[in-house]
Structure 1
Amino acid sequence: MCPCSPRAWHDRPVSSTVDTAFRTALYDTVDTALDTGASLLAADPAADAELDRRGREFVASAWQRGWQPADLVRIVRRELEDVHVRVLAALIRAQAPDDKARGPRWAAQLAELPAGVPARTDRFSSATAVLELYRLLLRLPSLDPLQEPRPGPGRRSDSRMLTRIRALLAKAEATGYPEEAEALTAKAQELMARHSVDEALLDARAPDPDAPAACRIGVEPPYEQAQAMLLDAVASANHCRAVWNEPFCFSTVVGFEADLVAVELLHTSLLVQAQSAMVKAEAAQRAGGRKRTKTFRQSFLAAYAHRVGARLAEVAAATESEAGRDLLPVLATREVAVTAATDRMFPDTVTTRLRGVTDEAGWTEGAEAADRAQVAARPRLP
């Protein structure tokens, strides 16, 4: 702790206290640097407002370097602890009124920030948590910025379609009957494919100059490789491309906006369904006297992702076939645009080999679960 008493800091300029603490704790790698910086801040309550202001500046700087709210929450949750996530969420909310106008996806991320405020602790512990968070934010690298698409001229509202898709997927996640989940998820994918076809035809008449766009979707431990594989399968079936950034726990999905929404919705639902199916499969394995391991779960999810990709592709292909041969040139043009945009954003991608897929029972169970979760095309919905 600092040998100076709080009274000794009374007349010291607030910015000087914060600057000194930052120089000590944020830019020095000595083991005692954090304790020294936290002691300085704990001894000077008048510095709290300036410390918060600097935090909002760190957040704004992260936006300028291409990060988004959900990205920061993911990396802080992985690298630090819950208290740091809550401090971050409070800073993001405080900075938002001073931020420039963003799109609906950004607004959704703000709405999904962790609720509540950091638990009250002693001043030294609070200062330590704040400095640990600021040190992480300061050292984050730049990411390729993602711009939200602007609706093209004459773009129709799709809120009713998305509401229906969300309702179908919610029912698929909630039901305890595999056949019902299969039918509900298939209907949702068909609606997504039909919506994509409608958007493609609309863009052919009035192209959107801002498309394709991109979004980031969290791919967090455990079993992140299998999750990334599942996201890649969902993206491919919906005319998008997914590029996995393992160190920062997300994949960037590139595609046209209607397809990006479909990927976000379906990937989230399939993760829920896969988790539920995996829990049941493990229970059956244990009942048979076989101990299940991390390898079983990794193999289960890998097989699930592999099989589900083929099923989704079948649904999409059948729906597009119904739309007629006139659609093929439009889809080909969009495919080229998405591929070109992906190559511009990620010119140096590499293929990752899936690890840990060695459990035959896990693979078999995962493939069977995917067959139950996704099916071939259904008759056209009214």
Structure 2
Amino acid sequence: MGTKSIFNYSIQDLQEILVANGFNKFAAQQIFDWIYVKLETDFNNMSNLKKDLRDYLMSNFNANPLKSLVVEESKDGTIKILFLLDDKKTIETVLMPQKYGQSVCVTTQVGCKMACKFCASGLIKTERNLETNEIVRQIFTMNQILKEKFKDDLSNPRSRVSHIVVMGIGEPMDNFENVMKFIEIINETKGFQIGARHITISTCGVVPKIIEFADMKTQINLAISLHASNNEVRSSMMPINKAYPIEKLLDAVSYYIEATNRRITFEYILIEDVNDKKEHAVELARLIRGMNAYVNLIPYNEVKENPYRKSTKIDTFFKILKKEGINAIVRKEFGADIDAACGQLRAKREGVFKNDEV
């Protein structure tokens, strides 16, 4: 078995590799079909490939899925997996059943250097970026799980992942090249066929990368983790605001909207008596009024290792935004009965939480 993960390569990459080694480039489509449609991981079982090609693939590549350390399933159908990477590091991935399909929240880094005070991911320091294959394999494994769940009805569109949110552990814009390669692979029509408009990247506000992303003019959705209506509150929760304060962030957002003509999402976690007061709602409305945007209000999933608590004013905050003419929704809560908040399961596993909380 080869040492290079086949999940690192787009169909174009494989075509070039095959041609360079004397094989027909069309075989790349066949390989993609076996791996991403049939979910086959053994090259020897790819029966429509010639034996010399199967031998070449076996000698040079592997299609090893990630190892699942812990799998938790909520009453609402949410599935959270703690994966073990090849170097024994751990990451989390969450599948969230939606009315419109199966959505998966993927992780892009081992740990997170953003150190947002309210987030369990920030409890463990960043160790490294994930490679492309490590992000792709998160989707692959979730598709394996769904295939097993729907084995009697594989024609059901819910038997496959249909939507991706790049909102798990880590800052996607800090791992920009691997994230964009991941999107190229999962977007491939010969593979997972996940459309660009079904993919959302979330960022804490890495301004230079937002501008670079805007210049690419993709159809991929962009979400901004705002979580505050002024610099004082945002800086108290999110260290990145000191480097890229709200004014610079919103300038980059305006540039993105103008360059792509696409609507943007502002994510706003509501935390009791921190950012959820009436004046905050009014301030937020004035801050973003006129933008092609909407606000996704998120009930806080509490982490015992910090002092923040879930807001009791969500309905009031929502009504003020609507009265102020701002498009807003309240995100449905997923996995309330499991460790569904970003980074919780990994933090428990690695001993960040106290023993009586594990």
Q: TM over 0.5: same fold?
A: no
TM-score between both structures, scaled by the size of structure 1: 0.27
TM-score between both structures, scaled by the size of structure 2: 0.29
Task: Give the structure with the larger strand fraction.
Answer: 2
Task: Give the structure with the larger helix fraction.
Answer: 1
